[in-house]
Amino acid sequence: LPEQEAFDIEYWLLEEAKLQRMPKAKPLVGKVALVTGGAGGIGRAIVERQLQEGVCAVLLDIDAAALESTVTELSKKFGKDVVRGVVCDVTSEESVIAAYARTAIEYGGVDILVSNAGIASASPLEDTTLALWNRNQSILATGYFLVGREAFRLMKAQGVGGSMVFIASKNGMVASNQAVAYCAAKAAEIQLSRSFALEGAPLGIRCNVVNPDAVIRGSKIWTGTWSQERAAANKVSEEELEAFYRDRSMLKRSVFPEDIAEATYFLASELAAKSTGNILNVDAGNLAAFPR
Ligand code: NAD
């Protein structure tokens, strides 16, 4: 090669190397995120984190009253043009398809899906009724399938890729006392995400999982019947239950909705451009040495 040409190539390679070392985050401004269970504790924190990045958010939730108050509060904080709420039951195919149609009309499409709507239930194996089993399967496994499939169809039609994050649970990886139906349905969500990742990869559609451990406060699951039932079953107060989760963790720290929101933001954004089919456990270290 002539000297100048060799020099140009070397210079170009160095510039490339420099680019490779630069953070890959692209601003999410103008992207559209659909978040199911957006009126709940973790969902709301996820929506707020996305709105901070300039994303337009569509909250799907079955709880119309909670949805209305959440959307009103977020509109005041971030502006009314960037937040929408759609009442939707994720177990109903009709309801999910209608919610995506509404999102497409309002914002022209979907770039990010966060599948998060869920329930928690505590029941010893022997007392687990078929109705409770089916409820877990339909809201968690079927719900994640339906909202994920519709996101996939829309993202494929848009032709510019997309990103999905499934909020599953540590209990999708390991068994937990009195949670047979929940654990099985959460495991289904994790396996579902891998199939989405496989079929989505050629289309630039990524799909990853965030696994929370017990998320303390700011979440209906924690503040509602779940923590009460768990505390009662273990004959401790809710404060003692919280202390139990904190002390059991490697880091001796509680996990909050904002921690799940940060992990979700990372996976949804271009920061995680080369991650798909992966799981990020936000559990203060619990899974790494569990049970202890
Ligand atoms: P939450 O109860 O505060 O919020 C859940 C939201 O989902 C609620 O607003 C509820 O109305 C909505 N929802 C329930 N059924 C629905 C349906 N059929 N269609 C549409 N919306 C529906 O709970 P959270 O703590 O914010 O949990 C969010 C997700 O995180 C769930 O999938 C849950 O399993 C998972 N998770 C939570 C914890 C925890 O400790 N809180 C731990 C691990 C995993």
pLDDT tens string 56-85: 999 999 999 999 999 999 999 999 999 999
Measured in Å, residue 12 CA sits from the centre of ligand 1 at 49
pLDDT tens string 48-57: 999 999 999 9
Ligand 1 site, residue 214, Cβ cutoff 6 A: yes
Measured in Å, residue 121 CA sits from the centre of ligand 1 at 11
Locate the ligand 1 atom nearest the alpha carbon of residue 255 and give its number: 40
Nearest CA to ligand 1 atom 33: 118
Nearest CA to ligand 1 atom 34: 118
d(CA 83, CA 51): 8
Measured in Å, residue 2 CA sits from the centre of ligand 1 at 64
Measured in Å, residue 204 CA sits from the centre of ligand 1 at 28
What is the gyration radius of the CA atoms in the chain, in angstroms?
A: 21
Ligand 1 site, residue 90, Cβ cutoff 6 A: yes
CA distances to 120, 122, 131, 171, 277 from 126, rounded to whole Å, are: 18, 12, 13, 19, 34
CA distances to 44, 67, 159, 203, 236 from 167, rounded to whole Å, are: 13, 19, 25, 22, 28
Amino acid at 89: D
Q: What is the pLDDT along the chain (292 residues), one digit of tens a residue?
A: 567 777 777 767 777 776 666 555 556 888 999 999 999 999 999 999 999 999 999 999 999 999 999 999 999 999 999 999 999 999 999 999 999 999 999 999 999 999 999 998 888 899 999 999 999 999 999 999 999 999 999 999 999 999 999 999 999 999 988 899 999 999 999 999 999 999 999 999 999 999 999 998 888 888 777 788 888 888 999 889 889 989 989 999 999 999 999 999 999 999 999 999 999 999 999 888 865 5
The per-residue pLDDT for 20 is: 67
Confidence (pTM):
0.92
Ligand 1 site, residue 37, Cβ cutoff 6 A: yes
Q: Which of 134, 207, 205, 126 is nearest to 165 (CA)?
A: 207
Nearest CA to ligand 1 atom 15: 118
Is the CB of residue 168 less than 8 Å from the CB of residue 148? no
Residues that are catalytic? 182
The per-residue pLDDT for 29 is: 83
